[in-house]
Structure 1
Amino acid sequence: MDKLANHATLLGTVQDVSGTSVSVTLQGNQFSGLSFVNGQGYRIGQVGSFVKIPVGYIELFGIVSQVGASAVPENMSVEMPNGYRWIKIQLIGEGYKGGRFQRGISQYPTIDDEVHLVSEDDLASIYGRKAAQHHLVKVGHIAGSESIDALVDINKLVTRHSAIVGTTGSGKSTTVAGLLHALSDTVRFPSARIVVLDIHGEYAKALSDRANIYRINPDSRNANERPLQIPFWAMSFEELIGITFGNLPADGKAKNVILEKVIQLKAETLQKYPQTGISLDNLSVDSPIPFSLNRLWYELYCLEFGTYFSDNGKLPTPANWAYEKKAGGENIVGDPDKGIPPKFRKPKSVKDDPEKINWLPDVLNIRAQLDSLGAKLRISRFDFVLRPGRWRPKEDGEVEGDLAELMQSWLGSSRPVTVLDLSGVPTTLMNDIIGILLRVLYDALFWARNLSQGGRERPLLIVMEEAHKSWLGKSAQRG
């Protein structure tokens, strides 16, 4: 760069250095806030803009973080020369003059070192990789120069954690949709596989031509929309408790009884419908074996609310349970399949009354939890998880669809993107459902790690909307 151009790009000089934070005084002749170099206009001291500091053969690059009086170093604020204007920059990387930019700082500026505008040639050294390279995808152009593409390294994006952040209305969702469009180009990336957890239902329309959409209330007119169904029996025991019963008594008695009953029901299913790789010897409460949740709820309800005729020293059995009766004399036994509970007569133990009615023993103190679960079994908005279509077990545990079929529909489709639209999930379940989905997806890839469907040949990119919310931390702890 010749002396004239070098003078035109000069912003000011370094006055204070604190680690990677550098305070700079602007030149006294920089009043317009706009400078022209080779016909190109540059904003002076704009927050977020790049600057460079030549130090010998090295050029240090930084980003403007503060402008104005607040950028003055504390130890100089009282003696600040009249008419000086200040900016504060954060050093981010370096490079040899005309060479390649690299992150990190190996040396630091000194007092009175010159600070210059970053020209398009400089920006090209920072961003200037060609989008034609197979592992790079263009997502737009950089804010400082429309002639330089903004590129994303696909290898790093898929194999690392990353985040897109910005203020409300800044275009985060639009950016994500554009990025997903680029990544799901089946010509360029035939092995692309993406799962989007969409809690606001924003991406179905944007990706409708290349995605399968799973939502609680799918549009039957759209062939790409299908019902979102998450089998409760594929959850771990702790996840299942959170979805169904919620908080249980601290003494642990109820939790142990429920655990034993779940294992018993899963064992009965396994005996009737054997599955490869699982036997009664290695069966656990977390094994993904179908069982009837309605039957579990009904049996627990009877134990908790039930009464029986205890006269003549009778022991409680279903044969002598004290049901209330209908007008026609029939017992009101309820309907487990519909989530309708039975009704029992109130206890009475009058001395001269031959009919004595007593509570069933071993009360678990979970009446409120059982009432709540019964309501969920009757309300359609919980069907996606408690009555999940082809994956809903019959009373004996038989199901039409297995877990492999469900994972195949999510991860093995011919379309590169799967959108799990969670906008219809009850807010009380949202945290748990997201954690469950992440855990199930991880388990599916883990157990398929030696197959082509696993992560070796086709890595899975999971896109989470509003990942800053507290449920992400909870999900990560579960996973």
Structure 2
Amino acid sequence: MLNNDLHRSISAGEQERRDAQKIGNRMLGRVVACNGSHATIAAVAEHGDTDLTELWSVGRLISISVGSNRVVALAYSMQSGERQWAEGEDTKFHIEVELLGEVRVGHDGREEFSSGISAYPYLGAIAHRIRSADLLRIYDAGKNDTCTIGKLSQDESIDAAIHVPSMLSKHFAIVGSTGVGKSTAVSLLLHKAIEADHRLRVLILDPHNEFAAAFPDHAVVIDTDTLDLPFWLMRLEEFSEVIFRGRPAIPEELDIMRDLIPEAKRAFKGSDSGLMRRSASEKSSLTADTPVPYRMADLLALIDERLGRLEGRSDKPFLRALKMRITSAINDPRYHFMFSNNTIQDTIMETIAHIFRIPGDDRPISTFQLAGIPSEVVNSVASILCRMAFELALWSNGAIHMLVVCEEAHRYVPA
């Protein structure tokens, strides 16, 4: 609902203004303390009556009258003065609220909600039940093309609506304790998002393999059996996490990889079979982080070459250890999705098409199941996928809308 619609439906607001003059109807308490972000409200439950206290609960919005404006606040803590309740006697209690914004009268005479506060509550200011019209203004997306996802818990006569383009134009998080329904909320939002934006592509990093069931007709499942993620897409830091199995890298071995990986990339670029020597003038600006294909066989051959040299004997223990680490990773079946034969060639187009659903074929969602990936390389895999998603969205010049959903991001996104 737009703000001008609220302005036209003024009769309910006028009625609430008349009710506001009846202190017993909407008054909840008075401000007894206030700073730049919080306020304390004192209230009294007469004769132990709980009708007033039912209006106070953590998570509810209230409003505080300040002149012609109404400051909107969220209750987050409450307690009785003596931490006890006496039946039949007056009970005083205090409510801590967070100041969120205010409903003010604009230059055109219309009331609108703003997240800023022009005048803070004074001591003795009246706190009262928030008006339904104010709730509408607070949750009004200001757009016509919104999607309804439910009802407001504080007033179930009001739709909870989102504007998908505005939501997806910025980072956002869904937080809550275990069991409150975060995954259900994410699934609902994604269903609404793909309905509203047909160009949207969604990649879900799913550590519990739970989201595939929520999108049986709109998603493909990607796991270690159906994934070919080329190892050469990794940066040196990410590749070292694989080789060292999540442990800190040995500096000498890391330096060797930093020198030899560009040589292996140049060898692959210059010839499709075996190593190919090139003069210094012919060498390109490849680095260990450049996403260019290379063969593990070429990298191991370069290590063997250094082992056969007469000089640099102090490096040989590190060369042997590095060769053993690389060989062990290549032969580990858990890393087959990175080191299979399919990952040697430049298959980046096929990888992008498969993971990011281009074309979508009526299934714009990819659920990337992380449960089967070794824990020590989950960080690296997530890093590659997020980097690819960013580059794809950037270089498509807006043709592709990309959304990456990180379920339990704290498990694989460094702090």
Please name the residue that 2:132 is paired with: 120
8 A contact 1:14–1:111 mirrored in 2:
yes
Q: Using the alignment, how far apart are the partners of 1:228 and 1:442 within structure 2?
A: 20
Q: CA deviation at 1:119?
A: 3.6
Partner-residue secondary structure (3-state), 2:330: helix
8 A contact 1:216–1:425 mirrored in 2:
yes
Q: CA deviation at 1:174?
A: 0.7
Residues 33-71 of structure 1, C-alpha deviation per residue, up to 9 Å, x if partnerless? Answer: 335xxxxxx932101111111112101110101100489
Partner-residue secondary structure (3-state), 2:205: strand
Q: Using the alignment, how far apart are the partners of 2:136 and 2:49 within structure 1?
A: 26
1:238 paired to 2:237: yes
Q: Work out which of the residue numbers 393, 408, 412 in structure 2 matches 1:466.
A: 408
Q: Specify the code of the residue in structure 2 equivalent to 1:23.
A: T
Q: CA deviation at 1:272?
A: 2.8
Partner-residue secondary structure (3-state), 1:291: coil
Q: Compute the TM-score of the two structures, normalised by the length of structure 2.
A: 0.80
1:88-127 → structure 2 map (5 Å cutoff)? 88-96=96-104, 99-127=111-139
Q: Specify the code of the residue in structure 1 equivalent to 2:24.
A: H
Change (3 A) 1:288 1:18: closer
Partner-residue secondary structure (3-state), 1:257: helix
Please name the residue that 1:396 is paired with: none
8 A contact 1:235–1:288 mirrored in 2:
yes
Please name the residue that 1:434 is paired with: 382
Which is further off, 87-96 or 136-145?
136-145
Q: Work out which of the residue numbers 182, 193, 214 in structure 1 matches 2:192.
A: 182
Q: Specify the code of the residue in structure 1 equivalent to 2:25.
A: A
Q: Which runs of 5+ in 1 are unaligned?
A: 36-41, 73-81, 218-226, 307-314, 317-358, 394-398, 475-479
8 A contact 1:11–1:30 mirrored in 2:
no
Q: Specify the code of the residue in structure 1 equivalent to 2:42.
A: T
Residues 335-390 of structure 1, C-alpha deviation per residue, up to 9 Å, x if partnerless? Answer: xxxxxxxxxxxxxxxxxxxxxxxx98841425455434333322211111222x53
Q: Work out which of the residue numbers 350, 353, 373 in structure 2 matches 1:408.
A: 353
Partner-residue secondary structure (3-state), 1:363: helix
Residues 231-273 of structure 1, C-alpha deviation per residue, up to 9 Å, x if partnerless? Answer: 10112233222222464433x3x33433333222211211236
Q: Specify the code of the residue in structure 1 equivalent to 2:250.
A: P
Please name the residue that 1:265 is paired with: 264
8 A contact 1:28–1:84 mirrored in 2:
yes
Q: Using the alignment, how far apart are the partners of 1:196 and 1:30 within structure 2?
A: 54
8 A contact 2:101–2:117 mirrored in 1:
yes
Q: Using the alignment, how far apart are the partners of 1:197 and 1:71 within structure 2?
A: 49
8 A contact 1:191–1:458 mirrored in 2:
yes
Residues 423-464 of structure 1, C-alpha deviation per residue, up to 9 Å, x if partnerless? Answer: 111111112221222223323444xx2xxxx15233211111
Q: CA deviation at 1:17?
A: 1.3
Partner-residue secondary structure (3-state), 1:196: strand
Q: Specify the code of the residue in structure 2 equivalent to 1:240.
A: F
**Superposition RMSD in Å:** 3.1
Change (3 A) 1:53 1:71: farther
Q: Compute the TM-score of the two structures, normalised by the length of structure 1.
A: 0.70
Please name the residue that 1:14 is paired with: 31
1:44-83 → structure 2 map (5 Å cutoff)? 44-69=55-80, 83=91
Please name the residue that 1:296 is paired with: 299
Q: Specify the code of the residue in structure 2 equivalent to 1:300.
A: I
Residues 72-95 of structure 1, C-alpha deviation per residue, up to 9 Å, x if partnerless? Answer: 9xxxxxxxxx83211111110111
1:143 paired to 2:85: no
Q: Using the alignment, how far apart are the partners of 1:152 and 1:87 within structure 2?
A: 30
Residues 392-427 of structure 1, C-alpha deviation per residue, up to 9 Å, x if partnerless? Answer: 22xxxxx2x521221122232323222222111111
8 A contact 2:44–2:91 mirrored in 1:
no
1:164 paired to 2:167: no
Q: Specify the code of the residue in structure 2 equivalent to 1:235.
A: M
Q: CA deviation at 1:208?
A: 2.4
Please name the residue that 1:327 is paired with: none
Partner-residue secondary structure (3-state), 2:401: coil
Bigger Cα Rg: 1
Q: Which runs of 5+ in 2 are unaligned?
A: 1-16, 84-89, 274-281
8 A contact 2:48–2:91 mirrored in 1:
no
8 A contact 1:228–1:420 mirrored in 2:
no
**Of Structure 1 and Structure 2, which has the larger fraction of its residues in helix?**
2
Q: Using the alignment, how far apart are the partners of 1:443 and 1:128 within structure 2?
A: 34
Aligned length: 375
Q: Using the alignment, how far apart are the partners of 1:406 and 1:46 within structure 2?
A: 51
Q: Work out which of the residue numbers 420, 432, 436 in structure 1 matches 2:368.
A: 420
Partner-residue secondary structure (3-state), 1:147: coil
Q: CA deviation at 1:126?
A: 1.6
